[in-house]
Amino acid sequence: MTSPRVQQLIDGMTWAEKLGQLQIVFRPRPEDAAALVRAGIGSTFWPRSAAATNALQREAVEHTRLGIPLLIGLDVIHGQRTIAPVPLAMAATFDAPLVEDLARLAATEARSGGVTWTFSPMIDVSRDPRWGRVVEGFGEDVHVNAVLGAAMVRGYQGTDLAAADSIAATAKHFVAYGQPEGGRDYNAVDVSTHRLRNVYLEPFRAAVDAGAAAVMASFNTVSGIPMHANRHLLTDVLKSEWGFGGIVVGDADGVRNLLPHGVAEDMVQAVRMAYEAGLDVEMGGAPSDVAAALTPDVLDGARIDDAVARVLALKESLGLFENPYVDEDAELVAPTAAARELVRGAAARAAVLLKNDGTLPLSAPARVLLTGPYADSTDHLGAWTQSFAAPSGSIAGELSARWPATEVQVVPGVSFLGDGSDDIAAAVAAARIVDAIVICVGEPSALSGEAASRSDLRLPGRQADLIRAIAGCGIPFVVVLANGRPLVVADWIDEAPAVLEVWHGGTEAPAAIVDVLTGERDPAGRLPMSFPRSVGQVPVYYAHENTGRPATTGGALELEHADVGLHGPDNVQDKYTSKYLDAELGPEFDFGHGSGYATFTHGEPRLTVAELKLERVHAGEAVTLSLDVTNTSGRRGDEVIQLFIEDLVASVAPPVRRLVAFERRTFEPGARAVIEFSVGQEQLGFWVTDGVGASFRVERGTFHLHIGGALKHTQFVELRVI
């Protein structure tokens, strides 16, 4: 419903004023910004302070005919000033309320400076770690992306967009951007409607349900049609079927990119295609000569009015017509103590204990060596932070302060990418005379993020050589791994007694890493993406469909050729299954993998009833699955309970497992609690496509509900839908 104010504005607007509202200019030069605003642009990127923002708003409000305030956009991805862990690390917390709080903090800081619109959360299900942008999202799982994406939307937007600490969220990138061919950024996506519906669209449906103000079109094609020109997905699915009433914004120059995509001859055609497809705001700024050619004969007037109404409605919900300005004196330019504590806790909760033979946690030794390029690096903020973000310190600085009586030696030994200064011998010499060693390795922030795909997922440079050399010294050591994507660790993992994955943890990362190393906090994060054994295995993810010939064993590289086929003896049959001859089955570390310092036992899972009638499921009936969990250790710690569904027989080949619920819970030493999950239509159903439309359906049959603290350590109960 268009409000009276919005309708009145539209009725009085010229064609040029309408088109101006449909653009967000991508970082104009400061000296050009005021003129652009006077010329009528509707939105721009944040000019980097509350004062500069107010100055631009004043241009819009006082020096344009209609006085319409601006939307001020910015990529506030995991913090504005106080930087939280990267989104992939947020996913590793498996803690939706925490993720909501982190978005709230980001919104509070950003809005205080005049930002009203963020281009976050990224909810592209990503199963290819070669793609550098996996760092910006929540990993490989549909449910995790849906739950955490919705949590971020709620965190950014709060209950009232007009509040002084709320900003409009953008769910991006719509859609299937996470499946680029070869893992190369911006690449083509060829995806079935079945997978689109069941995998890539689901998190967006959840974000729309959570009230996301905007959705961003993605750079990729879907089945040959670039998303900026994809009417079926932008209009038929997103706007008509889902009833999305917000803004569809283009990605940076995404409309212009229709030319190299080879679907538009010139910008006029590109702009027309985009608006006809359902785009509402073009990001980048079409040049003025194009604007002159975009006459009412070229663009459909009703469509343009609809797009303008959406933009003005958002400005209205943000309260900008009443109050376009921010209080310059109240701008938050540095983290508060509470903000630091929040992101520190989050960085510790994101840490994943990949393996531990008891070496961790460490107690203060007499002498410790910190080695590896992350030992004294301050590159902890992650790929999407800007120059005005609060910096982090280093692990070396933090550990020295925490253990004043310990002699802390810092000998990096190698650089990140490998250069002439590498001196592994120096690190080994230092290692021989200490009591404990912390090897701090990883990928610097610049190796993940946009346009940062890699074809080799091992630690770059000579970092693996360093780990192997230190392992030869016979001194207890732990490896701290800081990175923005799953890595291939096969070339050193067996030699490391304990490995802690800490990602890029943000402003307070070093403090959080030391908290976890020393056992002051528990590292109970879980992997949001599988870690492959080798690049050749990618994509490798847990929720794959079964084949007609599922593999039972892998890694049997034999020269003998058997021409017996499926009907031969058992050992020959085993050859003809879906696997690599030169790799073990499955990833190095599964999705959901991780432990903590505390230990837990689980009772038998129980269901309230073992059978449900389909009609009752449709009517909303659900069963409750409960599990007793006990902390058997003398430490306080967290368990992350994960519930996976296995649909034994369905009309479409189902994934072997599908996460439908999770909960992270803290347990005092010896404490016991019952975890309960409800299983009904939403958990049991899936999308069935028939070439014309799609419907969400629960089918009769048997389901195994697998529950536990990790994919490989689950128990199941059977549920029948009759």
Q: Contact, 438 vs 399, CB < 8 A?
A: yes
Does residue 614 bind ligand BGC (CB under 6 A)?
no
Alpha-carbon span 76 to 58, nearest angstrom:
23
Cα-to-chain-centroid distance, residue 26: 23
Q: Contact, 174 vs 114, CB < 8 A?
A: no
Between vectors from CA 23 to CA 220 and to CA 290, what angle results, nearest 5°? 85
Cα-to-chain-centroid distance, residue 701: 34
Provide the 10 A C-beta neighbour count for residue 321.
17
Q: Least CB distance from residue 534 to ligand BGC, whole Å?
A: 29
122: DSSP letter: B
Does residue 124 bind ligand BGC (CB under 6 A)?
no
Alpha-carbon span 713 to 706, nearest angstrom:
9
Q: Least CB distance from residue 392 to ligand BGC, whole Å?
A: 23
Q: Least CB distance from residue 119 to ligand BGC, whole Å?
A: 3
CB nearer to ligand BGC: pick between 70 and 489? 70
Q: Least CB distance from residue 285 to ligand BGC, whole Å?
A: 12
CB nearer to ligand BGC: pick between 165 and 450? 450
CA dist 541 → 19, 210, 402 (Å): 44, 27, 39
CB nearer to ligand BGC: pick between 113 and 605? 113
The residue number whose beta carbon is nearest to ligand BGC equals 119
Q: Least CB distance from residue 446 to ligand BGC, whole Å?
A: 15
Alpha-carbon span 170 to 75, nearest angstrom:
10
Residue 206, SS3?
helix
Does residue 251 bind ligand BGC (CB under 6 A)?
yes
CB nearer to ligand BGC: pick between 94 and 119? 119
Does residue 282 bind ligand BGC (CB under 6 A)?
no
Q: Least CB distance from residue 252 to ligand BGC, whole Å?
A: 4
CA dist 251 → 25, 105, 131, 214, 282 (Å): 11, 25, 18, 12, 8
Structure tokens at 337: 């103590």
Site for ligand BGC in 60-89 (CB under 6 A): 75
CB nearer to ligand BGC: pick between 250 and 460? 250
Structure tokens at 165: 């600490």
Q: Contact, 589 vs 531, CB < 8 A?
A: yes
Alpha-carbon span 542 to 281, nearest angstrom:
37
Q: Least CB distance from residue 376 to ligand BGC, whole Å?
A: 31
Q: Least CB distance from residue 449 to ligand BGC, whole Å?
A: 10
CB nearer to ligand BGC: pick between 73 and 605? 73
CA dist 486 → 130, 228, 382, 482, 528 (Å): 9, 30, 14, 10, 9
Between vectors from CA 438 to CA 437 and to CA 442, what angle results, nearest 5°? 145
Does residue 316 bind ligand BGC (CB under 6 A)?
no
Number of residues that bind ligand BGC (CB under 6 A): 6
CB nearer to ligand BGC: pick between 127 and 172? 172
Q: Which stretch of DSSP H or E encloses residue 437?
A: strand 436-442
Residues 24-63: x where in contact with ligand BGC by CB under 6 A, - otherwise, as a string: ----------------------------------------
Site for ligand BGC in 379-398 (CB under 6 A): none
Q: 641: closest CA among 683, 675, 669?
A: 675
* Among the listed residues 225, 252, 263, 417, the single contact to ligand BGC using CB under 6 A: 252
Alpha-carbon span 590 to 421, nearest angstrom:
36
Alpha-carbon span 534 to 652, nearest angstrom:
30
Residue 571, SS3?
helix
Residue 251 is a catalytic residue = yes
Q: Which stretch of DSSP H or E encloses residue 689?
A: strand 686-689
Site for ligand BGC in 157-176 (CB under 6 A): 172
CB nearer to ligand BGC: pick between 174 and 374? 174
Residues 450-489: x where in contact with ligand BGC by CB under 6 A, - otherwise, as a string: x---------------------------------------
Residue 607, SS3?
strand
Helices assigned H by DSSP within 432-569? 463-471, 509-517
Site for ligand BGC in 482-541 (CB under 6 A): none
Q: Identify the active-site residue in 95, 128, 141, 251.
A: 251
CB nearer to ligand BGC: pick between 452 and 527? 452
Q: Least CB distance from residue 251 to ligand BGC, whole Å?
A: 5
Q: Contact, 283 vs 26, CB < 8 A?
A: yes
Does residue 119 bind ligand BGC (CB under 6 A)?
yes
Give the catalytic positions in this structure: 251
Please give the residue ranges that form the binding site for ligand BGC (CB under 6 A): 75, 119, 172, 251-252, 450
